[in-house]
Every structure is written in C-alpha cells, then in structure tokens.
Amino acid sequence: MLNDLKKDADDRMKKALQAMGNNLNKIRTGRAHPSLLEGLTVSYYGSETPLSQVANISVEDARTLSVKPWEKQMVPEIEKAIMKSDLGLNPSTAGENIRIPLPMLTEETRKGYIKQARAEAENGRVAIRNVRRDVLSDVKSLLKDKEITEDEDRRMQDDVQKITDKYVAEVDKALAQKEEELMTV
C-alpha cells in the first residue's frame, strides 16, 4: 500500500515536471525550434486542429521556421493563427510555403522571458509540492485509521520528501538550462 502511494507520487511528480518542460519549450529563445508552434491551433473545416496536424513544421535555418501546409487553402488560416498567437511572430508567405523569421531578442525581451520561465518553474515546484501534500495526507489518514504504524508514517514522510527533493532539483536544472539558452546571443 505504501509502495503504491510512493509510485503514485513519483508518477504524478514526473507528469508535473513534463508539463512544466512543455511550458518552458513554448518560451521563445533566439533560435528557431518547431516546438514554438506546438500549442497553435487553426480552423480546419470548422474545427480547431493543432497546426502540426495540418502542416509540416521545419527549421529552415537558425532564425527561420518553415511551415508547409498539406492543403493550399490552409495558408491564410495558418497565417492568421500565427499572427493571433502571443508569440509576436510575423509570417511571410511565398506560394504555399510560410516562412516565419524569428526576430533577435533584445535585452529587455530576454529578461521578460526569463521572468516567464521562472514563473513556470515556480508553478512546477508548486505542483510537485501539491502532490507531496496529497500523498502525505493519505498517509496521515492511514495512520489515523491505524492501518500503518508511526514508524512507517515517519519513513514514508522521509521517502516522499526525497522524491520531492529529486523533482524540485530537476525543475531547477531545467530552469537553469532555459535561462542559459535565453542569455545566449
């Protein structure tokens, strides 16, 4: 029973770390990367569809993304979705190919993106701590119902804290890596 709780805590913390990683990937660095457009949806025959399901997204060079829709009539829809997004990108179309040049990041925008990355990391830490709190409350209820001993309770608290510390360290590592990417010119 306690091992199941530990495994559950580990799984949920891993998911929180992955969600935070996905959010960090959406923060634009100076380099072109297809994951920038990952959360974008376009109107495809009346339904909102992820951009990756209606077009091929590739990196043309270090500062340019290329989007090649599978259907020609999707070009204006994709352009509209990119302009509406909060990414601050201006696509240019040449026939069926949409090029998205990434502007150079100014010092001010870099600092803004670092703030955003730190906020995402803090959200990740909070999610991990919430998992810890949930698991420890489950352990407390087991202790209260006398299904486990006080020694097992204490041991479980220590184990869950070790798991929490491991994932918080992973969050800090991911944040440091993102900050380094953002500060690289």
**Segment 62-84, tens digit of pLDDT:** 788 888 988 888 888 888 888 88
Q: Among 79, 101, 123, give the residue marking a domain's end.
A: 101
Q: Among 62, 81, 101, give the residue marking a domain's end.
A: 101
Q: Are 136 and 86 in a shared domain?
A: no
Distance CA 102, CA 36 (A): 11
Distance CA 83, CA 91 (A): 7
Residues 6+ apart with CB under 8 A from 68: 55, 56, 58, 96, 97, 98
Query: What token pair was written down for 150?
Result: 């006080």
Distance CA 41, CA 126 (A): 28
Q: What phi, psi does 67 have (nearest 5°)? A: -120, 120
Kindly report the CATH number assigned to the domain that includes residue 177.
1.10.132.20
Residues in a beta bridge with 67: 57, 98
* Residue 159, domain extent: 2-26+106-183
Q: What is the pLDDT of residue 185?
A: 62
Q: What is the pLDDT of residue 173?
A: 94
Q: Are 111 and 178 in a shared domain?
A: yes
Distance CA 63, CA 29 (A): 10
Residues of the chain with pLDDT under 70: 30, 185
Structural domain count of the chain = 2
Q: What is the pLDDT of residue 163?
A: 92
Coil, strand or helix: which one is 58?
Answer: strand
Residue 100: CB atoms within 10 A of its CB come to: 22
Q: Among 78, 101, 124, give the residue marking a domain's end.
A: 101
Q: What is the pLDDT of residue 110?
A: 84
